[in-house]
Structure 1
Amino acid sequence: MARNDHLLSVGNEALAPMTTAMSSLTSQIDQLTAVADARSSARLASLKTKMENFVASVTFVGQVKAGKSSVVNIMAGHPGLLPSDVNPWTSVVTTLNINTKAPGDTKARFTFFEQEEWDNLTVGGGRLGELANRAGADDEMEDIRRQIAEMKEKSEERLGKHFDLILGQSHQYDYFDEELVQRYVCLGDEDDPDINPKTGRFADVTKAADLFMDIPQYPIALKLCDTPGVNDTFMVREQITLRSLRGSEVCVVVLAASQALTTMDMALMRIIAQFENRQIILFVNRIDELEDPVNQVPEIRDRITETLKQNNISTDTSVVFGSALWAEAALTGDPDILTEDSRKVLNRFYLAAGFGSEAASLDKIWALSGFPDLLLAINERIAQGSGARLIERIRNRARNVASQIRATSVAKNMTGDDSVLRDLDGMPPEEAISKVISSYEDKASELTSALRKKVMERLAGAEASFVKRATDSLIAHLEEHGEQGTWQYEPAGLRTLQKAAYFSFARAMRKEAGALYTSAAKDIEAIYHQLLGNHLGEFSIEAPIVPRVPPPLGIGRTIALDLQSTWWRRWWQRRKGFEAYAADYTRLIASEANSITKDIEENQIAAVLENVRATLADFMREQKETLLSIAQSAEQGSDNPAGLLAGLQPEKSRDEILGDILKDLSTEAA
Structure 2
Amino acid sequence: MLAGLAEPSQRSLVTDALAHLGQLECRVAVVGQIKSGKSSAINALARSPHLLPTRITPWTTAVTNLHFAQTPPGGYGAVFSFFEHAEWDQLAEGGGRVRELTEQLVPGFAPEHLLEQAALLRQRASERLGPEFELLLGQAHFFEALAPGMMEDYVCAGDFTGPQRIGKYSDITKSADVYLDQGPFAFPSTVVDTPGTNDPFLIRDEITRRSLESADVYVVVLTACQPLSETDVSLLRIMRGLYKDRIVVLVNRIDDLADLDVELPKIAGYVEQRLLAEFPGSHIPVVYGSAWWANQAYVFEPDAAARILTRRSAGYLLRAGLLQPNELHAGSLASGDFCDRVRQSLLAMSGIPALGQAIETLMAAARPTYVQRKIAHSFAEMARACESAARSELQILLAAEASSLDAKSSAEDTFSIYTREHDLLAGVAADIEQSAAGIEAQLARIIQEEQDALRGMLQSSIALHAARERDVLVDTLSRGRCPRVWTHEGVALRRALARVFKEGFEKAAWRLTSFHARVVPELHKLMRTLVPQPDLEATHSGEALVIPTPAVTPISRLLVLDLKTAGWSALWSRHPSAESSGEKIEALIRAEFAPIAEELVQLAGRVFHDFSTTTIQWSLAACRNIQLALTRRLELVLAEHDAARRSAAPSGAPPPAEDFTERIRAQAQRLEDTEALTQHVEYLARYFDTILKIEASEPNG
Does residue 434 (structure 1) correspond to residue 415 (structure 2)? The answer is: no
What is the aligned partner in structure 1 of residue 600 from structure 2? 600
On the 8 A contact 2:367/2:548 being kept in 1, the answer is: no
| Alignment match of 1:540 (pick from 515, 537, 540) | 537
What is the aligned partner in structure 1 of residue 498 from structure 2? 499
* Cα deviation digits, residues 76-131 of structure 1 (max 9, x gap): 2332432345666x700001112222235422111223445445655794632688
Residues 256-655 of structure 1 correspond to what in structure 2 (within 5 A)? 256-314=223-281, 316-337=283-304, 340=307, 343-351=310-318, 356-357=324-325, 358-359=327-328, 361-386=342-367, 388-412=369-393, 413-414=395-396, 417=417, 421-422=421-422, 428-478=427-477, 482-483=481-482, 491-532=490-531, 534=532, 536-540=533-537, 545-553=545-553, 555=554, 557-561=555-559, 578-579=578-579, 581-602=581-602, 604-616=603-615, 618-619=617-618, 622-623=621-622, 625-630=624-629, 632-633=631-632, 634-637=634-637
What is the aligned partner in structure 2 of residue 165 from structure 1? 135
What is the aligned partner in structure 2 of residue 20 from structure 1? none
Structure having the higher Rg:
2
Q: State the alpha-carbon separation in 1 of the partners of residues 419 and 40 from structure 2.
A: 68
Check 1:39–1:477 CA distance in 2 against 1; reply closer, same or farther (3 A cut): same
Unaligned runs of 5+ in 2: 104-108, 329-340, 400-413, 639-658, 691-701
Check 1:666–1:213 CA distance in 2 against 1; reply closer, same or farther (3 A cut): closer
Structure 1 position 407, deviation (Å): 3.0
Q: State the alpha-carbon separation in 2 of the partners of residues 621 and 551 from structure 1.
A: 30
User: Secondary structure of the residue that 2:146 maps to in structure 1?
Assistant: coil
Structure 1 position 323, deviation (Å): 1.0
What is the aligned partner in structure 2 of residue 254 from structure 1? 221
Unaligned runs of 5+ in 1: 1-29, 134-138
On the 8 A contact 1:97/1:224 being kept in 2, the answer is: yes
Check 1:297–1:458 CA distance in 2 against 1; reply closer, same or farther (3 A cut): same
Q: State the alpha-carbon separation in 1 of the partners of residues 663 and 170 from structure 2.
A: 57
- What letter matches 1:389 in structure 2? Y
What is the aligned partner in structure 1 of residue 72 from structure 2? 102
Structure 1 position 547, deviation (Å): 4.0
* Cα deviation digits, residues 505-561 of structure 1 (max 9, x gap): 2211221111232333233323222334x3x233235589454321221x1x32224
Identical positions, percent: 25
Structure 1 position 218, deviation (Å): 4.2
* Cα deviation digits, residues 610-641 of structure 1 (max 9, x gap): 42344357526633651551363232338999
Q: TM-score, normalised by structure 1?
A: 0.80
- What letter matches 1:264 in structure 2? T
Q: TM-score, normalised by structure 2?
A: 0.77
Q: State the alpha-carbon separation in 1 of the partners of residues 568 and 627 from structure 2.
A: 73
- What letter matches 2:130 in structure 1? G
Q: State the alpha-carbon separation in 1 of the partners of residues 12 and 45 from structure 2.
A: 37
What is the aligned partner in structure 2 of residue 202 from structure 1? 169
| Alignment match of 2:81 (pick from 111, 123, 129) | 111
Q: State the alpha-carbon separation in 1 of the partners of residues 662 and 539 from structure 2.
A: 28
On the 8 A contact 1:547/1:611 being kept in 2, the answer is: no
- What letter matches 1:403 in structure 2? R
User: Secondary structure of the residue that 2:72 maps to in structure 1?
Assistant: coil
On the 8 A contact 1:407/1:528 being kept in 2, the answer is: no
* Cα deviation digits, residues 353-385 of structure 1 (max 9, x gap): 655424461101111111111111111222343
* Cα deviation digits, residues 455-487 of structure 1 (max 9, x gap): 111111111221222333344445667447987
Q: State the alpha-carbon separation in 2 of the partners of residues 640 and 222 from structure 1.
A: 51
Does residue 223 (structure 1) correspond to residue 190 (structure 2)? The answer is: yes
* Cα deviation digits, residues 234-254 of structure 1 (max 9, x gap): 643445334432232210000
What is the aligned partner in structure 2 of residue 174 from structure 1? 144
User: Secondary structure of the residue that 2:28 maps to in structure 1?
Assistant: strand
Structure 1 vs Structure 2 CA RMSD: 4.1
Q: State the alpha-carbon separation in 2 of the partners of residues 110 and 342 from structure 1.
A: 40
* Cα deviation digits, residues 487-506 of structure 1 (max 9, x gap): 76663321221112111122
On the 8 A contact 2:260/2:313 being kept in 1, the answer is: no
On the 8 A contact 2:380/2:678 being kept in 1, the answer is: no
Q: State the alpha-carbon separation in 1 of the partners of residues 369 and 193 from structure 2.
A: 25
Structure 1 position 301, deviation (Å): 1.7
Q: State the alpha-carbon separation in 2 of the partners of residues 265 and 655 from structure 1.
A: 54
- What letter matches 2:226 in structure 1? Q
What is the aligned partner in structure 1 of residue 48 from structure 2? 78
What is the aligned partner in structure 1 of residue 411 from structure 2? none
User: Secondary structure of the residue that 1:308 maps to in structure 2?
Assistant: helix
- What letter matches 1:188 in structure 2? G
Check 1:161–1:624 CA distance in 2 against 1; reply closer, same or farther (3 A cut): farther
- What letter matches 1:436 in structure 2? S
Check 1:341–1:616 CA distance in 2 against 1; reply closer, same or farther (3 A cut): closer
Q: State the alpha-carbon separation in 2 of the partners of residues 470 and 329 from structure 1.
A: 54
User: Secondary structure of the residue that 2:211 maps to in structure 1?
Assistant: helix
| Alignment match of 1:55 (pick from 15, 25, 31) | 25
On the 8 A contact 1:109/1:211 being kept in 2, the answer is: yes
Check 1:583–1:87 CA distance in 2 against 1; reply closer, same or farther (3 A cut): farther
Q: State the alpha-carbon separation in 1 of the partners of residues 549 and 474 from structure 2.
A: 39
Check 1:648–1:282 CA distance in 2 against 1; reply closer, same or farther (3 A cut): farther
Q: State the alpha-carbon separation in 2 of the partners of residues 120 and 615 from structure 1.
A: 41
